[in-house]
Amino acid sequence: MNKTSEQLGIDYSRAQTILDKYVKDPIVKMHCIESEAIMRDLAKNFGENEEVWGIVGLLHDIDWDLTKNDTGQHCVKAKEILKSEGATDFLIETIVSHGWGWKGATSSDLIGKQRTTKLQHALVSSETLTGLIVASALVQPDKKLSSVSQYSLMKKFKDKGFATRCDRELIRECEKAGIELEEFIELGLKSLKCISEKLGL
C-alpha cells in the first residue's frame, strides 16, 4: 500500500473509477478535473503530496449528481458514498469540509463547523476559483482560456456583478492556506490553461 492509499484509503486509479461511477454529468466531471488540476499545482507549490491533493480535488463533488435537486444534502451524501468505497475518515472529512458554513446547508454535519487545515482551505478556494476562471473564458469572443489574462481575471474577481455565484470570500481562503490571492489566481489560471484541450476551452 503506497502513502496515498494509506492516507486516503484509495489510490488515484481507484479515485478515477469512483468518479466515473457516481458523476455522469459532463459539466460536473469537468469541474472535478479542473479542481484536481489546481489542487495538484497548489500541492507542488507548497511541497505537499500532489496525488493526495489531486484526489481530494477530483472527488470533492462526488455526490453532486445525487444532490443537485436537494442541495441541502450536498456533502452529506458524499460521506456515505466515500465510506462505502473505502475512503478514510481523513479523506471524508476533508471533502465534506468544503460544505462547512455553506448558507444553504440544512444538515448538522455542515452547520457551525470551520475549516482549519491548509488542505481544507486549499480545496474550497480551488474549487470555487474554477468557476470564476471558466466564466471568464466563456465571455471571451473565442471562448478560450488562452484569451484570459491574470490581469483580466483579477478585474473579474473584483467585479461582484460577474459570476455572482462564485463566492469571493471562499476564493480568498487561499490566503489561509498560505498563498496570496494574486499568486493563487495566476496559478489557477495556468493550471487550467495546461488542460485546456481536455476541457475544450
pLDDT tens across 77-108, in order? Answer: 999 999 999 999 999 999 999 998 776 666 66
Query: Among residues 33, 14, 13, 26, which one has the least CA distance to residue 127?
Result: 33
Q: What pLDDT is attached to residue 106?
A: 61
Q: What pLDDT is attached to residue 112?
A: 79
Q: What pLDDT is attached to residue 47?
A: 97
Q: Which residues contact 185 (CB under 8 A, 6 or more apart)?
A: 129, 150, 153, 154, 157, 171
Q: What sign for the dihedral angle of Cα 14, 18, 23, 24?
A: positive
Q: What pLDDT is attached to residue 116?
A: 96
pLDDT tens across 7-36, in order? Answer: 999 999 999 999 999 999 999 999 999 999
pTM above 0.75, yes or no: yes
pLDDT tens across 128-178, in order? Answer: 999 999 999 999 999 999 999 999 999 999 999 999 999 999 999 999 999
Q: Which residues contact 17 (CB under 8 A, 6 or more apart)?
A: none
Domain ranges of the chain: 3-199
Whether 60 shows a pLDDT value over 70: the answer reads yes
- What integer is the mean pLDDT of 65-71? 90
Rg (CA), the chain: 16
Helical H segments across the chain, by residue range: 3-8, 12-22, 26-46, 50-59, 64-67, 76-84, 89-96, 118-138, 150-158, 168-171, 174-177, 181-194, 196-199
Q: How far apart are CA 192 and CA 59, in angstroms?
A: 17
- What integer is the mean pLDDT of 55-61? 98
